[in-house]
Amino acid sequence: MAEIYKINLSTSAISLITGKVTQAALEWQNRPLDSLYMIV
């Protein structure tokens, strides 16, 4: 990541970010679905 984006992150920072993204994804996956969706 440092080579591509020129950003240095610690292992703990990467773990924290990954945990937050994983939690947000799980919440989105488990959200109640609307009964009707518009088709575009």
Does residue 21 have a pLDDT over 90? yes
User: pLDDT band for position 2 (50/70/90)?
Assistant: confident
For the chain, what is the mean pLDDT? Answer: 90
User: pLDDT band for position 1 (50/70/90)?
Assistant: low
Q: Where are the domains of the chain?
A: 1-31
Q: What is the pLDDT of residue 35?
A: 86
Q: Mean pLDDT across the stretch 6-33? A: 94
User: Are the C-beta atoms of residues 8 and 2 closer than 8 Å to each other?
Assistant: yes
Higher-pLDDT residue of 7 and 24 is: 24
Contacts of 1 (CB under 8 A, 6+ apart): 7, 9
pTM of the model: 0.64
